[in-house]
Structure 1
Amino acid sequence: MKFELEFFDEFIKKECGKSKKLSPSSVITDFPKKRLLIEQEVERLKKSFVEQLFQVENESRFELFIQHHHAHIIRLANKVSTVLDKEESLNLNRIGAEPTRLNLCKVLLQAFENLLNYIEAHFTKYFDQDQKIPDTYAHISIKEFREKLEIIRKVFVEKGVDNEFTEIVLFPVNRFVETPEKKSLTFRNLIYKKYLVKELIALKDKPNFSEAVFEHLFYLNFNSYHFLQFATTKIRKEVELLPSMTAHLEHLSLTLKKLNQAQVKPTFGLKPLRESLKNLLSNWLEEEIHFIERKRQLTLMIPPGGVKAESVNDFKVKTSLSVPQLAYSIRLLKDSGIITNENRSELIRFFSKNFSSHQVENISTESFKGEYFKFGRAAVNHVQSILAKLLLHSKKDE
């Protein structure tokens, strides 16, 4: 697969390279002809990319091809942008009638923006979203974000949204607008921020705007620790208003149920390498529920006189398995669909509490959890031998 950007490499070297003899206002001969050549080359490249996709036998080679060209277009755009100052970058779409070097560079930058948008739209599966965006993209995006932030802030004020909540929601966009030089923005970051802004504006006509935004942030996987803390504080305040531990458990369980049923936009998130907001809050809710359940059990076990009551149910299922073998067996039953409970944390607590291994009478939840998620080869081999024995026993009953 050949390199397709030689035309632009040579064109930029000749027309937009650093030169003491040329300034942005220098007149370019044959300006209309050169502009036409740029536009024709853009269309040729688009067709070539599509042809390469259908001709290549190895899909991974095409992925490398797209990523290589995508990265090179960004480098070319950054090279051309050195001719423009920041103010001109913000007015990229305003190309004057004068046949100057500055205007020719703007034509080139528009062409590169066109190509990058085309790759993003038609080859999303292949292009590298973690590439840093061109400098001109950053300047234009800052201008767009500033305009839309004004609209969003006005809506938040009109709807009476809490100031703390407003600042948390707008922080990622606001931070980029105010301090762009401190953080390089990738295409993935930019796509998320643009989508977030678009969705916030789209929600403005919802009856309960603040609650609608709060719930929609879970769909967008707004996995900011600041927002997670805000969400947990909000839930705690709701629980504190309830009269009893039973009411606390009911409220937390209902919140967990709604969260587990909520949809999340696939492969999307504010922090791509961080666990999803849904999982983070789900884990917190499970821990809160477990804590209140234990607290309630202890309260029920201690009568008014302060003497600990006899345990009403010390029954355990005793097994000949070790803790790793038992944990892996339960995992197999869950993964194969025999156990259908959705909440793994509750499963782990139940089996660690009600089952014992051949050496450990009281299995700790943390120990069982560790073996459940990080099983070893020895446990796998032993359970496989047990399954073979079970199969033999079953055949005897035929």
Structure 2
Amino acid sequence: MNVSFKIFHWADEIIHPKALINEQITNDELLKLENGFLNQLKKDSELIFTEANFSKKRILFQIRQLINLSNTIYGYLFRLSPAWKRKIHSSQLRQIYLRLLDALEKVIVNVQQIMPETYFEIPVTYYGMSLLKMQIKKAVGNFSIVLQQLQIDKKLYDLLMRDFYIFLNKKEITRYEIDYIINLIKEVEYTNVFDTLELIKILFLHGFNPRDFFYYYTSDLNNRLKSVPDLHDQLQVIISEQDRFYGLPESKLKMFSSLSSIEGQFKAFLSQKKRSLKEVINLRRVIIEDEQGAKTKGRLKVFLSVPQLSLFIRVLIEKGLLPKENIGELFNFFATHFSTPQTSFISAESLRKKSTDVEFSTAQKLKGHLIGMLNWLNENYNLSNYKNS
């Protein structure tokens, strides 16, 4: 049996179950095959990591070939098992496949020591994932129990569990993603998470960036804003949210490297929301100013304060110069048609109340105005020495 092929050519031509079964291979030949594979793997792996002309891109390509080889053998071991499991050497063949997978896994793991950045970029083999899957499922199960014990919004809980199980069933998972999910679960478990907002903060810090998490946050914030009727108060909520997230340390973590960072998504959303609110507030201010300007044009300005005007109206009423009937309508008339330098729009109720609830200083100032009016009459119409006979 020719065992001189490069390791990447073995899968279809040498170690395929049908090839082995059809040749009626003996136990000794199987062992020889295994040793030949392992020796060739050693030579090829040394070449991968020691060839000076190999770039990072080239090494990554070679490692992916090893991963594909591992996945192919894994498929022989499980998906094609009906073709060979009843044959005479099935038990030994199974053990050989497992040892080949172990050997490939050790070579792939060596990348972590030689090129750690590249290591975290490469996918986990099907065989490696089979070893990790139970560990991750257990971690996610414990995580589910922890979340259920906390005061977490059910929508966020359902979202997290759905994303975790989607993650577990991905066709290809990198070692970075495995570490990410395990560390995130540990962080939530060992941190004092009291409520939904605290959990959102932790997810933000760890770059949890699935799209549905961003949509959850924006929907939740919009619902909170709906319960705040005043636009200025809504703006304050947005500013508080910006302070809460912008003040956190920057994180380079991302659950999904192909998606935008959650930090960028949050900041862009809050900035846009802030701008939109300011535009609405400014627009409403202009509308109110226009309405006030239109109303002010029909008002006569009196150079008295509102309390002084109120008392003056009361004096006119008490001295019989204005009717005492329908006093409410009378004060409403003055409130509608008059303004003061400090108050463009006078409340009729306030005007009426202040006509009887009079402070001494107000009466004193009005008296000064009335004396000034009397002095003017005396000076202009020679009334100082006039005696009514």
Find the aligned partners of 1:201 and 1:128 in 2 and give their Cα distance: 19
- Separation in 2, partners of 1:174, 1:105: 29
Question: 2:214 touches 2:266 (CA, 8 Å); kept in 1?
Answer: yes
Residue number in structure 2 paired with 1:388: none
Stretch deviating more after TM superposition (276-285 or 245-254): 245-254
Provide the C-alpha distance between the structure 2 equivalents of 1:152 and 1:256, rounded to a whole number of angstroms. Answer: 29
What residue number does 2:322 align with?
A: none
The residue correspondences of 1:1-398 to structure 2 (distance < 5 A) are 8-9=7-8, 16-19=15-18, 22=21, 28-29=27-28, 48-52=47-51, 55-56=52-53, 61-85=54-78, 100-126=92-118, 129=121, 133-177=124-168, 180=169, 184-187=171-174, 191-209=176-194, 210-242=196-228, 244-266=230-252, 268-303=253-288, 306-307=291-292
The superposition leaves residues 254-275 of structure 1 with CA deviations (integer Å, 9 ceiling, x where unpaired) of: 3223323433432x42343332
Percent of paired sites with the same residue: 10
Structure 1 residue 228 displacement after superposition: 0.9
Taking structure 1 as the reference length, what is the TM-score of the superposition? 0.59
In structure 2, C-alpha distance between the alignment counterparts of 1:44 and 1:212, rounded to whole Å: 52
In the alignment, is the contact (CA less than 8 A) between 1:168 and 1:227 conserved in 2? yes
- 5+ residue gaps, structure 2, are 82-89, 295-389
- SS of equivalent residue, structure 1 residue 262: coil
Aligned residues of 1:252 and 1:285 also touching (Cα < 8 A): yes
8 A Cα contact 2:109 2:119, kept in partner = no
Letter in 2 for 1:16: I
Instruction: Give the alignment's Cα RMSD to 1 decimal.
Output: 3.8
- State which structure, 1 or 2, has the greater radius of gyration over its C-alpha atoms: 2
Q: Is the 8 A contact 2:208 2:262 kept in 1?
A: yes
Q: Once the 2 structures are TM-superposed, how far is the Cα of residue 28 of structure 1 from its aligned partner?
A: 3.4
Cα distance in structure 1, aligned partners of 2:105 and 2:75: 16
SS of equivalent residue, structure 1 residue 249:
helix
Consecutive unaligned residues of structure 1, counting only runs of 5 or more, are: 89-97, 310-398
Read off the aligned partner of 2:69 and give its amino acid letter. L
Do the aligned partners of residues 205 and 126 (structure 1) sit closer, same or farther apart at CA in structure 2, a change above 3 Å counting? closer
After superposition, the Cα gap between the structure-2 partners of 1:208 and 1:173, relative to the gap in structure 1 and judged at 3 Å, is closer
1:226-281: CA deviation from partner (whole Å, max 9, x where unpaired): 11121123323444455643332222123223323433432x42343332221222
Say whether the 8 Å CA contact 1:46–1:118 is kept in structure 2.
no
CA-to-partner distance for each residue in 1:272-323, whole Å, 9 max, x for gaps? Answer: 33322212221211121112212222333334882568xxxxxxxxxxxxxx
In 2, Cα distance between equivalents of 1:308 and 1:135: 74
Shift, 1:66, TM fit: 0.5
Letter paired with 1:78: N
TM-score by length of 2: 0.60
Between Structure 1 and Structure 2, the one with more helix by share is 2
